[in-house]
């Protein structure tokens, strides 16, 4: 522990930073508590702490001055959709083209040039659980968690690449955690034997934490001797890559391409070979996977160009007349909805970390932050009382020299888990339904005939609406099929009873039947 003989210096630094209140309860603290508080304050640095608090208060003041519903001046005039030559689409591409991209992606995976990077530092407050989102079980028949589903997809896509090109390949998995999620995530992976991935290929690292700040620029105390801290947003990735020497590790392994995604999407395709192959074929240094916006005012950021620079523009910043513009084919002009699913080259990430990271702007998040009051009682506020500054992972698009976007089908690749039931969307119920509906479609396409518990045929439904449960329950292990491939050998013309859990042993039994 750090010595406390420099307490006067600590007090003087905080006074200069306008943060003397942080030592308000110093006389009441035990020696170990004093040492821990002093260490955290020294790690932040009084000058940097003061600057951080001023930035937060200034950002809040600017936001308060903006007119409700206002849009950044001149934005509409400089707005352009992603140009066709930099835009790919699953739905609008020929099967042969998709196969070519997939083969290129599998080739890169087989050569050990691809890694996946998971953003898992958030607390999942809206989901209402005290553990990382990746450990959440949405209620599938298998009871698999998000972490397990993702680990098994990694194993399967590496297997597919190895089989196609006759190699034994590794697909490293980097997981960015935070102070809140690192310990539980480490223990979870250890307790589950890393889901049969090599321990050396699962690399956990931690992003920075920043103090939460009051509206008038004071750092908030979470306890008498503890600051209220929060992860610095998913855009904290670039600082964390440098701080933890992750880029050096990637270079040592021969990694050239990195697929980055958020933990909460139950349908995410790990190291998606079609997406990777598309980006590599286009010579991209940076790419975004997107879904078509469902309607003009859907609350999702839009990937587009502003004055020639690619970025994600928040839906609230786009004037309604622009959001409602349509192309001759009837599609929305600004339709590329951001889903936090990205491709980067290692060279690009190295350049960002070394050169551009300090230029990333901080975004304001107004939150309810628990705090201790003047007499030391801990308070859980009923309304927002604090500011958290965050950086966004997509804010590096502006530095790309060859940016591309790749549109995928929402029902096949995007169903986030953000809210607790019984919210209307992005809940355990909607995530579970999305996965089971997808697997029902796969089984149906492979020729399965579902029967109920009495042996009666279950009528097929060719097209499910988003809020409709599939007529039969079918879960397919990622170890059996990564994205619906090779299922005919198990299911074609087979009568199977609902619920069906098609794991490796069940698949083998059906194959031999």
pLDDT tens digit sequence for 55-91: 999 999 998 887 655 555 556 568 999 999 999 999 9
Query: From the CB of residue 142, how many other CB atoms can be counted at a distance below 10 Å?
Result: 14
- Can you give the CATH number for the domain in which 485 is found? 2.10.10.100
Do 210 and 146 lie in one domain? The reply is yes
Distance (Å) of CA 179 to CA 137, 182, 202, 272: 22, 6, 18, 29
For Cα atoms 200, 204, 207, give the angle at the middle one, nearest 5 degrees.
Answer: 155
Q: Is residue 310 one of the residues assigned to a domain? A: no
Q: Is residue 305 one of the residues assigned to a domain? A: no
CA 216 remoteness from chain centre:
31
Task: Report the greatest alpha carbon distance in the chain.
Answer: 81
Do 449 and 391 lie in one domain? The reply is no
Q: Is residue 350 one of the residues assigned to a domain? A: yes
pLDDT, position 126: 86
Residue 372 is encoded by which pair of tokens? 């201790």
Q: Which of 485, 471, 476, 484 is nearest to 507 (CA)?
A: 476
Do 262 and 397 lie in one domain? The reply is yes
Note the pLDDT tens digit of each residue in 291-322: 999 999 999 999 999 999 999 999 888 999 99
- Can you give the CATH number for the domain in which 248 is found? 3.90.550.10
Q: Is residue 316 one of the residues assigned to a domain? A: no
Boundary-marking domain end, from 16, 46, 65:
65
Boundary-marking domain end, from 378, 413, 448:
413
What H or E segment, with its residue span, contains residue 487?
Answer: none
- Asked if residue 227 lies in contact with residue 40, where contact means CB atoms within 8 angstroms, the answer is yes
pLDDT, position 2: 40
pLDDT along the chain (513 residues), means of 10: 67 96 96 95 95 96 75 68 96 97 98 98 87 96 98 98 97 97 98 98 97 97 96 96 98 98 97 98 98 95 95 90 94 96 98 96 93 95 96 97 98 96 95 97 97 95 85 98 98 97 97 90
Residue 201 is encoded by which pair of tokens? 């290929």
Output b/e per residue, 422-448; b: 16+ Cβ within 10 A.
eeeebbbbbbbbbbbbbbbbbbbebeb
Do 25 and 123 lie in one domain? The reply is no
Neighbouring-strand partners of residue 229: 211
Do 119 and 248 lie in one domain? The reply is yes
pLDDT, position 124: 78
Q: Is residue 264 one of the residues assigned to a domain? A: yes
Do 368 and 504 lie in one domain? The reply is no
Q: What is the pTM of this model?
A: 0.94
Which residue is associated with the tokens 């001023």? 54
Number of domains in the chain: 3
Boundary-marking domain end, from 380, 413, 446:
413
Q: Is residue 304 one of the residues assigned to a domain? A: no
Strands (E), 150-234: 173-177, 202-206, 209-211, 213-214, 221-223, 226-227, 229-231
Q: What separation, in Å, do the N-terminal and C-terminal C-alpha atoms of the chain show? A: 66
Q: How far is 409 from 210, CA to CA, in rounded Å? A: 36
Q: Is residue 298 one of the residues assigned to a domain? A: no
Pairing of strands 221-223, 226-227: antiparallel
Do 441 and 504 lie in one domain? The reply is yes
Do 34 and 111 lie in one domain? The reply is no
Percent of the chain with pLDDT over 70: 97
pLDDT, position 466: 74
- Asked if residue 6 lies in contact with residue 40, where contact means CB atoms within 8 angstroms, the answer is no
Q: Is residue 186 one of the residues assigned to a domain? A: yes
For Cα atoms 59, 353, 111, give the angle at the middle one, nearest 5 degrees.
Answer: 135
Do 182 and 147 lie in one domain? The reply is yes
- Residue 494, domain extent: 436-512
Q: How far is 257 from 106, CA to CA, in rounded Å? A: 12
Do 146 and 232 lie in one domain? The reply is yes
Do 200 and 266 lie in one domain? The reply is yes
Do 171 and 262 lie in one domain? The reply is yes
What H or E segment, with its residue span, contains residue 496?
Answer: strand 495-497
């Amino acid at each position: 522990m750090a010595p406390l003989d420099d307490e006067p210096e600590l007090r003087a630094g905080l006074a200069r930073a306008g943060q003397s209140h942080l030592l308000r309860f110093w006389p009441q603290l035990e020696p170990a508590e004093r040492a821990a508080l002093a260490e955290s304050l020294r790690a932040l640095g009084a000058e940097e702490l003061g600057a951080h608090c001023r930035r937060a208060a200034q950002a809040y003041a600017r936001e308060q001055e903006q007119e409700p519903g206002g849009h950044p001046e001149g934005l509409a005039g400089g707005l352009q959709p992603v140009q066709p030559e930099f835009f790919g689409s699953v739905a609008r591409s020929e099967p042969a083209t998709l196969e070519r991209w997939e083969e290129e992606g599998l080739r890169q995976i087989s050569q050990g040039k691809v890694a996946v990077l998971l953003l898992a530092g958030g607390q999942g407050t809206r989901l209402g659980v005290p553990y990382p989102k990746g450990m959440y079980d949405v209620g599938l028949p298998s009871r698999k968690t998000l972490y397990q589903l993702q680990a098994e997809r990694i194993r399967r896509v590496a297997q597919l690449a190895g089989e196609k090109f006759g190699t034994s390949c590794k697909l490293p998995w980097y997981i960015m955690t935070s102070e809140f999620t690192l310990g539980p995530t480490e223990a979870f992976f250890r307790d589950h034997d890393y889901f049969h991935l090599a321990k050396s290929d699962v690399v956990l690292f931690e992003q920075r934490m920043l103090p939460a700040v009051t509206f008038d620029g004071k750092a908030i105390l979470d306890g008498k001797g503890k600051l209220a801290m929060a992860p610095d947003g998913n855009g904290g990735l670039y600082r964390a890559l440098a701080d933890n020497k992750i880029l050096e590790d990637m270079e040592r392994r021969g990694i050239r391409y990195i697929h980055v995604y958020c933990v909460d999407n139950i349908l995410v395709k790990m190291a998606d070979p079609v997406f990777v192959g598309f980006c590599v074929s286009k010579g991209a240094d940076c790419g975004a996977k997107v879904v078509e916006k469902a309607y003009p005012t859907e609350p999702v950021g839009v990937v587009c160009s502003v004055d020639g620079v690619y970025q994600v523009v928040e839906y609230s910043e786009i004037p309604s007349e622009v959001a409602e513009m349509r192309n001759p084919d009837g599609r929305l002009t600004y339709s590329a909805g951001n889903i936090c699913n990205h491709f980067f080259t290692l060279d690009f990430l190295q350049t960002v970390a070394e050169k551009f990271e300090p230029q990333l702007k901080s975004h304001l998040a107004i939150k309810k932050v628990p705090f201790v009051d003047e007499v030391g009682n801990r308070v859980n506020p009923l309304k927002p009382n604090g500011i958290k500054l965050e950086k966004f992972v997509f804010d590096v698009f502006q530095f790309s020299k060859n940016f591309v976007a790749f549109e995928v089908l929402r029902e096949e690749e995007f169903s986030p888990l953000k809210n607790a039931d019984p919210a209307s969307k992005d809940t355990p119920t909607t995530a579970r339904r999305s996965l089971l509906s997808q697997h029902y479609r796969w089984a149906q396409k492979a020729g399965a005939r579902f029967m109920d518990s009495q042996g009666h045929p279950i009528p097929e439904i060719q097209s499910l609406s988003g809020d409709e449960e599939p007529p039969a329950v079918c879960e397919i292990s990622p170890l059996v099929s990564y994205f619906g491939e090779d299922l005919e050998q198990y299911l074609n013309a087979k009568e199977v009873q609902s619920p069906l859990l098609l794991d490796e042993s069940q698949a083998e039994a059906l194959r031999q039947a």
